[in-house]
Every structure is written in structure tokens, then in C-alpha cells.
A and B are shown apart, each in its own frame.
Chain A
Amino acid sequence: MKIRVHVSLKNGVLDPQGRAIHHALEGLGFGGVNDVRAGRLIEMDVADSTTDAALEDMCRKLLANQVIENFRIEKVA
């Protein structure tokens, strides 16, 4: 089973990397970019028997730091 875990910064947490990317886009002449937030995508291939609870446990224990990050689990196939 292919899994994608999307990790993003929580609302209200400043994102210096997103801000730098935003500046760089503006520097390249792209107008109309209102905001940029940078996150992380983790792709995993796991046994089909892996439960949703186990996937969430992986996110909570390692893949995301819930002090600053949210996660979303997507089953690709």
C-alpha cells in the first residue's frame, strides 16, 4: 500500500522558509503570490495490513512534531 504523509506547519507558526520562497518568487517577477508555506511530503510503501491507527501512530511518534506541525495521511493505492 502506498501512503503519502503530508506534514505542514500549523496556522500561526511563522514559516521562514516559506517567506524566503515567497521573496524568491517575487524576485523572479511572479506577481500575485499572496502567501507561501513550505511543508514536507513523506512517501511510504507499507504492508496492506497496516492499520490506520498504526499509520497515525507513526505520524505522532516520528513523522510530525505536533508542537508545530499538522499531518494528513493519504492512501494512494
Chain B
Amino acid sequence: MGFTAAVITFPGSNCDRDMAVAIEQITGGTVHRVWHGDAELPSGLDFIALPGGFSYGDYLRSGAMAARSPVMQAVVAAASRGVTVLGVCNGFQVLTEAGLLPGALMRNAGIRFVCRDVPLVVENNQSLFTARYTAGQRITIPVAHHDGNYFADAETLDRLEGEGRVAFRYGEPVNGSQRDIAGVLNDAGNVLGMMPHPERMIEPAQGGSDGRALFESVLAGLGVAA
């Protein structure tokens, strides 16, 4: 059985196809496309990705409605069983709203939508998602968001840093995030949320391929034959 993944599509997701292509190209696995109204996920999943976009038009709060959709009950259950879950951009917002990751993503400090390549520092290369990077490595990955300003109280931030759960930090100010946090891991290490888009940096034609190692890390870490 090869690497099996699911990409969830919510109404308003717009990076779901990019995510599916990145997973297919890098892992050589099977990618199921799953609709938000589905209450069940395909069986035998190794990996679930929540893509970027503007689910439910960002109504109420970014990710708030998607986090309460039927499929998210199944994603939360899968995450608690240890299935690997990646949330990018809106997917990160959904993961915080669903309670799978601590903190919240607020309006960018500069109010403006930020859409550009940004430098990231790999803070922790011991995780399932980052093992193919080196610690402290500077990589370039694009961001495109309005609500990427990571907030958590000081106690939570200290705990995240102490436990090595800050996976990526911005290499320069981007959106006002507390301690320049760009991506965080859950306690068990099988859930990562990040605002930058690794799926948009997987081949030179896209301006770089610094995002590939994230998917390669997951593939290698799970030990599933492609």
C-alpha cells in the first residue's frame, strides 16, 4: 500500500489543487480529494492536508466555520489517532479554530494583505515535517494572507518554545506574529500548522523548491513506500 493522502476542500478553498499536485509529485502516492460535507475520511490515510484559501468567505473569523464542518470531526479524530495533519494558511487557521493547535491567527499587524516570498528559519528539524531540513536553515517560501498574525498568551508561547514546537519562524517581520512564529506543532508532533505555502515552492519554475523537503520529510518519517 503506497502513501495515501487526503486534501480537504471547503467552500472557498483555493490552494487545494496545488496541495494535491505537490503531494502527488513529491510522494508519488495517492491523493483523495475530500469535500467538507463528508463525515468520513477515506480509510488507510497516512496524511491529511488542509489547504489555503478563504473557507466560508472567512465569515465570523478565518477558519471558524470550516472548523465546525462535518469533515473536521473526522480530521480531529484522525489526528488523535496519530494521523499526520498539515494545515497551510487557511488550513492553519482551521486547525487553531478546531483546537488541534494552540493560539489564534489575527489580522496582520499592518492591516494589509501580505503576498510575497518571505525568509523562514527552520527552528526545529527534529519533527516529522522538518527532518529533511537542517536546524537554523534559512529557506524561502511564499505567504499570501490577511490573517496571519499569530497570537497566544506568554505562557503558551514559552511552552511552545520550550518544547520545540515552533517549527518555523519568519526571518524578518511579516505580519506582527508573536515572536515571529510562522508554524507550530501540536504536543504529539503529528500536526503542523503554518502560514507560508510550501506547496507553492516545489520546483524551480515556481521560483524555488524549498518547500519540497517538508513533504519529503513526511514521506521518509512515515516510512511508507511511495
Q: List 21 A-B contacts (CB under 8 A).
A: A13-B106, A13-B151, A14-B106, A14-B109, A14-B176, A16-B106, A16-B109, A16-B111, A16-B149, A16-B176, A17-B107, A17-B111, A20-B111, A62-B60, A63-B60, A65-B64, A65-B104, A67-B103, A67-B104, A67-B151, A68-B151
Footprint of A on B, CB under 8 Å? Answer: 60-61, 64, 68, 96-97, 102-104, 106-111, 149, 151-152, 176
Count the A-B residue pairs with Cβ separation under 8 angstroms: how many? 35
Judging by beta carbons under 8 Å apart, are B152 and A67 in contact? Answer: yes
CA distance A63 to B109 in the complex (A): 23
Footprint of B on A, CB under 8 Å? Answer: 13-14, 16-17, 20, 61-63, 65, 67-68
B60: which A residues are within 8 A, CB to CB? Answer: 62-63
B111: which A residues are within 8 A, CB to CB? Answer: 16-17, 20
A20: which B residues are within 8 A, CB to CB? Answer: 111
Q: Determine how close the nearest CB of chain A comes to the CB of B16; give it in whole angstroms.
A: 24
Majority DSSP secondary structure for residues of B touching A: loop
A68: which B residues are within 8 A, CB to CB? Answer: 104, 106, 151
Majority DSSP secondary structure for residues of A touching B: helix
Q: Which of B68, B102, B108, B149 touches A62 (beta carbons < 8 Å)?
A: B68
Q: Determine how close the nearest CB of chain A comes to the CB of B157; give it in whole angstroms.
A: 12
Q: Determine how close the nearest CB of chain B comes to the CB of A25; give it in whole angstroms.
A: 15
Q: Which residue of A lies closest to B103 (CB)?
A: A67
CA distance A65 to B151 in the complex (A): 12
CA distance A16 to B146 in the complex (A): 12
A61: which B residues are within 8 A, CB to CB? Answer: 68
B149: which A residues are within 8 A, CB to CB? Answer: 16
Judging by beta carbons under 8 Å apart, are A62 and B96 in contact? Answer: no
Judging by beta carbons under 8 Å apart, are B108 and A67 in contact? Answer: no
User: What 5 new A-B contacts, CB under 8 Å, besides A14-B106, A16-B111, A67-B104?
Assistant: A65-B64, A67-B102, A67-B103, A67-B152, A68-B106
Q: Determine how close the nearest CB of chain B comes to the CB of A32; give it in whole angstroms.
A: 23
Q: Determine how close the nearest CB of chain B comes to the CB of A38; give it in whole angstroms.
A: 9
Q: Knowing A67-B96, A67-B151 touch, does A16 contact B108 (C-beta < 8 A)?
A: yes
Q: Which residue of B lies closest to A63 (CB)?
A: B60
Q: Which residue of B lies closest to A68 (CB)?
A: B104
Q: Which of B104, B107, B152 touches A16 (beta carbons < 8 Å)?
A: B107
Q: Which residue of B lies closest to A38 (CB)?
A: B107
Q: Which residue of B lies closest to A64 (CB)?
A: B61
CA distance A68 to B68 in the complex (A): 18
